[in-house]
Structures are given as structure tokens and as C-alpha cells.
């Protein structure tokens, strides 16, 4: 049966995903696969071998020329002086109050930067970073993740480095980045080449994976999701992203962030595991203390896990939490980051 006509945006890999039996959802105006087989099977494939994700909905902004470095250095939270051509850096775009407008990765070359930003924020980021150009239509993007990912591609790449290369016959930008905590890379290529690249990678035995597996994978390693765990109303120190803030540099919101760093944030984003049998979900109340921002069931740990904001004085490791799970009080415990350590089987 042919899929229903959709007004949602589609990536160049939509037809390939239909052929693989994908189940689609609306993700910020994009029709994207939430799963192909089962979320648990796809999740375990990434943790034990290799999986492939279509992340072509992500936005790309570009800035070129001799003033590019100085321009971004005055607007992004991390210190771009710490990277050179062929390297990448996780950084934040903040507002005057120190709130997180977006989290992104900056890829530096000899003539400027390519920024990969969250899909829903692309237009807003381009407006704030007015000297950049939105080049999202030039790129498709695939993430190949897992302990066998690079072997499947006949490739090597150092974390947070990138280069131009040919992967399985396709011209790509190969980046040692990802959103799962596993080895692997992200591949940017021409949209016209994306189906052939997808086919070649899947033919190597790499498992097609959807948003469902991607969400719980990133949650296990405590990678925040913008719009849930981090927002324009949350600051980097509350979100445990102070490591991506260089308060000795000058950028938008740095004065307020210096104050927060000095005084300490009023609340903190903490990882937790359920003690009782229950699955936490975003928006659930952490009784008397805060709220759940991300939650789900970990196939690796076989229990509910989550992230949530609690008052800073109650954010100590090992502290017990009580979560309102659909009207029932269920116990949880604050744990260390990451909740799950990749490539370490845990019972």
C-alpha cells in the first residue's frame, strides 16, 4: 500500500525508509522514521554492532572568510581558539540571560566554519547568527554508530575531527561525532548521493535505526535534547554543560553566566534510575523537587531511566527521588553520568 500523502518535509532517504518498513512520525515538521523493526532491537544493534540513522533533517549554517572566526568567537560559548582546521567543537548559542538557544557542533576549516544545528532551530539560529548562510539544502546527513561502525565503512576517524573523503564510493565529509556515546561517525554528502550511500552501508550489515532508538541511546549517556532538557530558559551550569562555556571569553550572555558560575545554579539537571518498576516520561513531577525532562526504558539496563531538574541542594549523587508516574509515587535514585557506559554490558 502506498504511503499517505503528507504535508511534512521529507529527507532524500524517505523512499528507502518506506522500502525498509519504517514507521513514521511528525518530528518538528519532518516525516521521520521512529522505528524499522523494534526500538529495542535497533538500540541493541548500535550498542553491540552498528546502526545507521538518517539525520538529514539537521540544519547546516556556513560562514566563510577572514572574519568568520572572530564573528563566531563573539557569539558561541566555547573557545574556538582551542580547535584548528579539521577539528570540531561542541558549543552553545546563548541569549543575554545565559539561556541555551541551541547546542551545536562547529566544524572548522582553513576558510571558516560549518555549523550543524538542531533542525527545529535552524531558522532562528540563522537569524541570530546573521552573518551565516543556511546551506542545509546542500547536505544529507547519515550517522553510523556502534563498536563496529567504522569497520563497516572501512574508515577511521578521531573523535571531534573531520575530513573530506570517499566512503564506499561516495564523496563525503566524515566527522568523528555522534549522539549515541558509541564509536562511529557522521557522514555529510550531496542529497543526490544519499540513497546510494545508505544502500551501500546497509549492504554491509548495518542496521537501519529510527528516532526511538536514538532517543534512548542518547539518554543512556546523558546527552541533552534541546527543547526538553535544555531550552532558552535553562542555563549551561544548571544543565551540567559548564564544560562547554569559557567565561574568560566574551560572547552573548557571558556576564550573566559568570554570575551563575560564581553563585551556583538554583537547580541542576540530574540523571536517575528507577528503583521501583516504572518508566518515567517528560513532564512528570519529581515530587517537591522538580520535573522530569527526558525518560524511558533502557534496554541495556532493563529499567527506567531519565533526566530531570531538581533544586541544587537535593542534587547529590545517590539522593532518592519520588516521581509521580500517572498518579502513582515511584522511587528513583540519582546516579552518575553516564547512566550506561557504552561497550560495558551491565546486568
CATH number at 163 reads 3.30.1360.120
Q: Are residues 88 and 200 in the same domain?
A: no
What is the average pLDDT across 31-40?
97
Strand order through the sheet with 51-54: 162-167, 170-175, 184-189, 140-145, 51-54, 207-208
Q: What are the counts of helices (DSSP H) followed by strands (DSSP E) for the chain?
A: 8, 19
Q: Are residues 28 and 100 in the same domain?
A: no
pLDDT computed for residue 342 by the predictor: 83
Average pLDDT estimate for 67-76: 98
CA angle 90, 94, 98 (to 5 degrees): 120
The predicted pLDDT at position 344 comes to 56
Q: Are residues 36 and 181 in the same domain?
A: yes
Is 161 within a domain? Answer: yes
Average pLDDT over residues 37-58: 97
Are residues 206 and 75 part of one domain?
Answer: no
Phi-psi region of 153 (alpha: psi -120 to 50; beta: other; left: phi over 0): alpha
Q: Note the pLDDT of residue 275.
A: 98
What CA–CA distance (Å, rounded) separates 230 from 241? 10
**Strand 184-189 vs strand 162-167: parallel, antiparallel, or unpaired?**
unpaired
Please tell me the total count of domains within the chain: 2
Question: Are 64 and 209 in a shared domain?
Answer: no
Q: What is the DSSP letter of 224?
A: -
Question: Are 148 and 209 within one domain?
Answer: yes
- Please check whether residue 317 lies inside any domain of the structure: no
**pLDDT value at 4 more than 60:** no
Give residue-wise pLDDT tens across range 251-289: 999 999 999 999 999 999 999 999 999 999 999 999 989
Mean pLDDT of the region 151-164: 97
Query: Residues with Cβ < 8 Å from 123, sequence gap 6 or more?
Result: 134
Mean pLDDT for 20-38 is 96
Q: Are residues 37 and 161 in the same domain?
A: yes
* The total number of residues written for the chain in this structure: 347
User: Same domain, yes or no, for 210 and 83?
Assistant: no
Give yes or no: residues 130 and 198 share one domain: no
pLDDT band (50, 70, 90) for residue 120? very high
**Position 168 confidence tier, pLDDT thresholds 50, 70, 90:** very high
Q: What is the pLDDT of residue 346?
A: 44
* Residue in the block written with cell 499517505: 4
Where would I find the H helices in 111-210? 122-128, 149-153, 194-203
In the chain, the percentage of residues whose pLDDT exceeds 70 is 97
Whether 164 and 114 map to the same domain: the answer is no
Does 69 fall in a domain?
Answer: yes
Given 184, 219, 254, which residue is the final one in a domain?
A: 219
Q: Among candidates 60, 54, 29, which has minimal Cα distance to 137?
A: 60
Residue 216: other Cβ atoms inside 10 A: 24
pLDDT in the model for residue 343: 65
Q: What does the pLDDT average to over 286-308?
A: 97
88 and 212 in a single domain? The answer is no
The CATH code of the domain that includes 248 is 3.30.70.1400
Q: Which domain holds residue 256?
A: 57-136+235-263
User: Do the beta carbons of residue 275 and residue 333 sit within 8 Å?
Assistant: yes
Average pLDDT, the chain: 96
Q: What is the pLDDT of residue 84?
A: 98
Contact (Cβ atoms closer than 8 angstroms) between residue 36 and residue 208: yes
The confidence band for 160, taking pLDDT boundaries of 50, 70 and 90, is: very high
Does residue 345 form part of some domain?
no
The answer as to whether 4 is a domain residue is no
Q: pTM higher than 0.85 for the full model? A: yes
Amino acid at each position: 500500500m502506498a504511503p499517505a500523502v503528507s504535508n511534512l518535509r521529507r529527507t532524500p532517504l524517505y523512499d528507502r525508509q518506506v522500502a525498509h518498513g519504517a514507521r513514521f512520525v511528525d518530528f518538528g515538521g519532518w516525516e521521520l522514521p521512529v522505528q524499522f523493526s523494534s526500538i529495542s532491537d535497533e538500540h541493541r544493534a548500535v550498542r553491540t554492532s552498528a546502526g545507521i540513522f538518517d539525520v538529514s533533517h539537521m540544519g547546516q549554517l556556513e560562514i566563510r572568510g577572514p572574519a568568520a572566526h572572530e564573528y563566531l568567537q563573539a557569539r558561541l560559548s566555547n573557545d574556538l581558539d582551542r580547535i584548528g582546521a579539521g577539528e570540531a567543537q561542541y558549543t552553545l548559542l546563548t541569549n543575554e540571560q545565559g539561556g541555551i538557544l541551541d547546542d551545536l557542533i562547529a566544524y572548522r576549516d582553513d576558510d571558516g566554519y560549518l555549523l550543524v544545528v538542531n533542525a527545529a532551530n535552524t531558522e532562528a539560529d540563522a537569524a541570530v547568527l546573521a552573518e551565516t548562510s543556511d546551506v542545509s539544502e546542500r547536505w544529507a546527513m547519515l550517522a553510523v554508530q556502534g563498536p563496529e561502525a567504522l569497520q563497516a565503512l572501512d574508515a577511521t576517524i578521531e573523535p571531534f575531527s573531520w575530513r573530506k573523503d570517499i566512503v564506499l564510493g561516495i564523496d563525503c565529509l566524515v566527522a568523528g561525532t555522534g549522539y549515541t556515546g558509541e564509536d562511529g561517525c557522521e557522514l555529510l554528502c550531496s542529497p543526490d548521493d544519499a540513497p546510494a550511500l545508505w544502500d551501500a552501508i546497509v549492504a554491509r550489515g548495518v542496521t537501519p535505526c529510527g528516532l526511538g532508538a536514538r532517543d534512548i541511546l542518547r539518554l543512556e549517556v546523558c546527552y541533552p535534547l534541546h527543547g526538553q532538557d535544555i531550552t532558552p530558559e535553562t542555563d549551561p551550569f544548571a544543565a551540567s554543560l559548564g564544560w562547554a562555556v569559557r567565561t574568560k571569553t566574551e560572547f552573548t550572555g557571558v556576564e550573566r553566566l559568570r554570575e551563575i558560575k560564581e553563585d551556583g545554579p538554583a537547580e541542576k539537571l540530574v540523571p536517575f534510575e528507577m528503583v521501583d518498576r516504572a518508566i518515567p516520561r517528560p513532564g512528570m513531577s519529581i515530587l517537591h523537587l522538580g520535573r522530569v525532562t527526558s525518560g524511558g526504558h533502557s534496554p541495556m539496563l532493563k529499567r527506567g531511566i531519565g533526566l530531570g531538574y531538581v533544586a541544587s541542594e537535593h542534587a547529590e549523587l545517590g539522593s532518592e527521588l519520588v516521581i509521580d508516574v500517572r498518579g502513582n509515587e515511584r522511587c528513583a535514585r540519582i546516579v552518575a553520568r553516564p547512566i550506561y557506559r557504552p561497550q560495558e554490558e551491565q546486568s
